[in-house]
Structure 1
Amino acid sequence: MKRRGRGRPGRGAEPMQVIAVRLTAEEITALDALAERDNVSRSEAIRRALAGTPREGTPQRRQARGPARGCGAGRRLVPVD
């Protein structure tokens, strides 16, 4: 059996690559709040957000405003034409 060396343990079977992203202080605050709310790391919060984005070839969706504009009540997702 192959003996593993030192270092950070792998995350699943797929190889991963480290990338740098520039964010504003406001974006970092929002990211940290999201990560804390879900009890995950910044990286995992970003991965989850990316997993929720539309893929190429799939219809995009946007929010349609309901009767209570601006407060989020009555909103639903509708396809973009």
Structure 2
Amino acid sequence: MSDSSHWHLDKRVPIALIAAMSLQTAGALLWAGAAMQRIDYLEREVSASSMIGERTARVEEQMRYLRQSMDRIETKLDRLGDQ
């Protein structure tokens, strides 16, 4: 193997370019971390919303039973009032 096949950094590459690429990479990593936080937050919110939906369905079912009970009570009261 010759020396020319090994990877090396050319002395003509400016330090400013290396610094800019490092800063850009750090910025991308920070952005990705912030995006993950937002995604985690939204996942928790969706999970909580699904639980609210289930609870709402249960409350609606209970209200239906209460209406049926109230209708039966009203019917009995109407019969008592007719006598």
TM-score (norm 2): 0.21
Which structure shows the higher helix fraction?
A: 2
**Which structure has the bigger radius of gyration?**
2
Instruction: Between the two structures, name the one with larger relative contact order (CA 8 Å, sep ≥ 6).
Output: 1
TM-score, scaled relative to structure 1: 0.21
Which structure carries more strand by proportion?
Answer: 1
